[in-house]
């Protein structure tokens, strides 16, 4: 933890003190879930997961009854209370109550004394969050305690300057928020543009003008498909199976030179396997071995693991040649794609699609990426839903002439490249906005954001008044001795 001596100096009239010196803190509780009647009331009851750095917390997901309050440690906090999440994913997140509301045990409520503004503490603790995160303890659900919140150091400005800081921070953040909102709108428009590019590409609209000027140079796709099928008949002989017919009555209308086809018409598929994990000698060899979780819609040229010749020989895995299109069949990455940048073995959760000349690989890549949702809708299974090779083989796709396929992939890749460049700039700009936000808060609580006024009552006087108020409210007689240790923690800058 940073010591007071390591912190930057404060302006004249400021001091450093702890949250507990300038406020009261408490937490709440959760009424028994076994009594459903407790949760049928009209008292808003907040959980820590509902805190999202909101300056206007005016509702809660659940409401409880007065009986629930009486039979639990939940308590109602008045509007104006500052809330801090203590547990779970939202640790350190804040909320400022604009209504009276009950809270659960995973929230610390801060009620500042007169002269300390809740919004001032809200903005300060927004900049202090990383300290809370660093102080977390626990395993699966790390948390902080009320004690960590209570002992957090605060640079306390004079009351009048607190108001000037609040006004300036909110003015600057308003400008920032406007800019960020504009960036997010552009980001949303890019998403729609990406979807439009892909949609128009596979409806033939993207190359509509191109077709008019290249009609004599393109062979209709039906002829291409018939030739591919004939070649397969001759090669496979009695093993050849005629493809299932396609009912195009409910499919979109295609351009004249296009045709609907199943992926099995123009490719063959295979999958791999996993060498026994019990045999250490099967791993750490020279043969790259790829798992489905590594497919991320990119070229794959550095699999995480490798196997030995013995591992290859004693499993159903196989080496797939460089340039092959892959699709994940199982788990979290189901439907994700990859293009092999090297020869590599694959596991059983990957389907390798080896095209036989009727379809351009990149054309198929973009088509499968665009129609991933349709593929995912037919997944089967529970905790780990999956698709099968049969599902992949029976994918129906619009098949343009080969020359047009290449033109489509060229147009799609050009559009996607432009989108990627703009998204990169947007991402950078959003990060810069967040850094600027933190920079504003840093300046604010070092006393550099607004000018000081020598006529302001110094924070030392404010703290003395708070001390007296606390002593009066608690009926303390000898407040000097009781609060001596707390005052020693405050560093007054003269």
Domain extents for the chain?
4-157+457-492, 159-218+403-453, 219-400
Place domain 4-157+457-492 in its CATH homologous superfamily: DNA methylase specificity domains (3.90.220.20)
* Per-residue model confidence as pLDDT tens digits over 147-174: 999 999 999 999 999 999 999 999 999 9
Distance CA 251, CA 217 (A): 27
How large is the greatest C-alpha to C-alpha distance in the chain, in angstroms?
Answer: 104
Distance CA 246, CA 316 (A): 33
Spatial contact of 251 and 396, defined as CB atoms under 8 Å apart: yes
- For the chain, the average pLDDT equals 90
Taking the mean position of all CA atoms in its chain, how far away is CA 328?
22
Taking the mean position of all CA atoms in its chain, how far away is CA 144?
23
Q: Which of these, 148, 61, 56, lies nearest to 103 by C-alpha position?
A: 61
Q: Which residue has the higher pLDDT, 384 or 282?
A: 282
Helix (H) or strand (E) holding 410: helix 402-444
End-to-end CA distance of the chain: 25
User: What are φ and ψ of residue 260, in 5° steps?
Assistant: -85, 140
Bridge partners (DSSP) listed for residue 27: 108
Distance CA 243, CA 401 (A): 20
Mean pLDDT value of segment 237-255: 86
Report helix, strand or coil for 259: strand
Tokens of 49: 């997961």
> Buried b vs exposed e over 219-232: b needs ≥16 C-beta within 10 Å?
eebeebbeebbeeb
Q: How many CA atoms lie within 13 A of 362 on its CB side?
A: 15
219-400 is a CATH 3.90.220.20 domain: yes
**What was the pLDDT predicted at 250?**
87
Beta strands 325-328; 337-340: pairing state: antiparallel
**What was the pLDDT predicted at 357?**
78
pLDDT band for 384, please (50, 70, 90 cuts): low
pTM passes above 0.85:
no
**What was the pLDDT predicted at 300?**
97
pLDDT band for 184, please (50, 70, 90 cuts): very high
Residue with tokens 């309050």: 69
Residue with tokens 């088509």: 367
**What was the pLDDT predicted at 482?**
41
Share of the chain above pLDDT 70, in %: 93
- Domains 4-157+457-492 and 219-400 are alike in CATH topology: yes
* Per-residue model confidence as pLDDT tens digits over 434-469: 999 999 999 999 999 999 999 999 999 999 999 998
**What was the pLDDT predicted at 491?**
34
CA angle 277, 281, 283 (to 5 degrees): 60
Helix (H) or strand (E) holding 399: strand 396-399
**What was the pLDDT predicted at 88?**
84
Q: What is the DSSP letter of 355?
A: E
């Amino acid at each position: 933890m940073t010591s007071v001596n390591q912190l930057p100096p404060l302006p004249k009239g400021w001091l450093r003190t702890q949250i507990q010196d300038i406020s009261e803190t408490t937490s709440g509780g959760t009424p028994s879930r076994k009594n459903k009647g407790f949760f049928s009331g009209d008292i808003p009851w907040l959980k820590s997961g509902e805190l999202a750095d909101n300056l206007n917390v005016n509702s809660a997901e659940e409401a409880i009854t007065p009986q629930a309050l009486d039979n639990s440690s939940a308590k109602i906090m008045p509007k104006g209370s500052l809330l801090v999440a203590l547990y779970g994913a939202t640790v350190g997140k804040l909320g400022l109550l604009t209504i009276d509301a009950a809270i659960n045990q995973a929230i610390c409520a801060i009620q500042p004394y007169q002269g300390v503004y809740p919004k001032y503490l809200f903005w300060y603790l927004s900049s202090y969050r990383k300290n809370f995160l660093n102080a977390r303890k626990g395993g699966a659900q790390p948390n902080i305690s009320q004690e960590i919140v209570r002992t957090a150091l605060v640079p306390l400005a004079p009351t009048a300057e607190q108001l000037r800081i609040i006004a300036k921070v909110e003015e600057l953040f308003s400008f920032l928020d406007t800019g960020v909102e504009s960036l997010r709108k552009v980001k949303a428009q890019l998403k729609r543009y990406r979807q439009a590019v892909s949609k128009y590409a596979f409806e033939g609209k993207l190359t509509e003008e191109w077709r008019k000027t290249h009609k004599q140079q393109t062979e209709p796709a039906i002829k291409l498909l018939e030739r591919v099928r004939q070649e397969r008949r001759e090669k496979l002989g009695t093993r050849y199976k005629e493809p299932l017919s396609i009912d195009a009555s409910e499919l979109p209308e295609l351009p004249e030179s296009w045709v609907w086809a199943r992926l099995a018409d123009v490719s063959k598929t295979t999958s791999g396997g996993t060498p026994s994990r019990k045999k250490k000698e099967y791993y750490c060899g020279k043969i790259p071995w790829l798992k489905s979780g590594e497919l991320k819609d990119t070229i794959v040229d550095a699999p995480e693991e490798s196997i030995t010749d013995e591992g290859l020989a004693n499993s159903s895995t196989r080496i797939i040649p460089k340039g092959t299109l892959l699709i994940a069949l199982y788990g979290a990455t189901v439907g994700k794609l990859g293009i092999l940048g090297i020869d590599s073995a694959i596991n059983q959760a990957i389907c390798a699609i080896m095209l036989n000349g009727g379809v351009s690989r990149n054309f198929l890549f973009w088509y499968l990426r665009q129609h991933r949702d349709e593929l995912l809708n037919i997944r089967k299974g529970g905790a780990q839903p999956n698709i099968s090779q049969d599902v992949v083989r029976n994918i129906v796709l619009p098949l343009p002439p080969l020359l047009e396929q290449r033109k489509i992939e060229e147009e799609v890749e050009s559009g996607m490249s432009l989108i990627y460049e703009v998204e990169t700039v947007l991402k950078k700009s959003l990060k810069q906005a967040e850094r600027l936000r933190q920079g504003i808060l840093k300046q604010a609580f070092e006393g550099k954001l607004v000018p000081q006024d020598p006529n302001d009552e110094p924070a030392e006087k404010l703290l003395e008044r708070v001390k007296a108020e606390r002593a009066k409210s608690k009926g303390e007689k000898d407040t000097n001795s009781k609060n001596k240790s707390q005052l020693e923690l405050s560093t007054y800058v003269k």
